[in-house]
A = this chain, B = another copy of it.
Amino acid sequence: MPKLESQSRGERVPLSRERVLRGAVAVADAGGIGALTMRSLAHELGVRPMSLYYYVAGKAEILDGIVDLVFSEIDLPSPGGDWKSQMRRRAVSARRALRRHPWAIGLMESRADPGPATLRHHDATLGTLRGAGFSVAMTAHAYALLDSYIYGFALQEASLPFNPETVTEATEAIMAQFADEYPHLTEMATDHILQPGYDFGDEFEIGLGVILDALTRSIPGRPQQTPLLTAD
């Protein structure tokens, strides 16, 4: 049980909402969201379970809080710069945050009320797109598209059993059995995914580039090729 001992020695840091939430993130990172219980969190912080309730109303508030903490780790785009590189930076940063904290992805579905970091993040992103000349409607389209891609990619990455090393041997044997039933899955696995240099994570920037380039076509004032998105 190599649980992280957050505090070093004698002088006990007093509890705080901050420490509770950061502790919760640490526990979830270490053992998944299932390992985050009021008891395990209390133990992590060196206190008894009921002490947590002085700082948070209940577990639900902790879940809301740590989702917002994850959002706070994402680089905010700045409205000044080139929108494309700003969006790329934001996307890469968001995906990294969600890879560090995969449990956050599933939480976002169930948690309804956004925290301040979440709101700030959305506001900065919208502001960057609007500032770049996207109409309100186009901004909505672009944002929905980008965030769908980011979250969806993170979701897939989290569910994929592909630790580049772990799986290679295990999967190969299993795949052999299904070769005739799932020929294309088998082809993809043996000819591509199980190849030496393959890393699913590399797909992220590829797809992101496709999306950003496609969005470029729809921005006003840039007479590109056929506009894929007609402002409605």
Q: What's the Cα separation between A193 and B144 when bound, in Å?
A: 12
- B210, A229: Cβ atoms closer than 8 Å: yes
A89 to chain B, nearest CB (A): 18
Count of this chain's copies in the oligomeric assembly: 2
Q: Mark A123-136, 1 if CB is under 8 A from B, else 0.
A: 11011001000001
Q: Which residues from 78 to 102 on chain A have a C-beta closer than 8 Å to any C-beta of chain B? A: 102
Q: Does B152 lie within 8 Å of A206, measured CB to CB? A: no
How far apart are the CA atoms of A107 and B102 in the complex, in Å?
12
Interface range, A side:
35 or more
Determine whether the beta carbon of B145 is less than 8 Å from that of A156.
Answer: no
Decide if A42 is an interface residue (CB 8 Å cutoff): no
> A residues engaging B (CB < 8 A)?
32-34, 102-103, 105-113, 119-120, 122-124, 126-127, 130, 136-137, 139-141, 144-145, 147-153, 155-156, 158-159, 161, 178, 181-185, 187-188, 191-193, 200, 203, 206-207, 209-211, 213-215, 225, 228-229
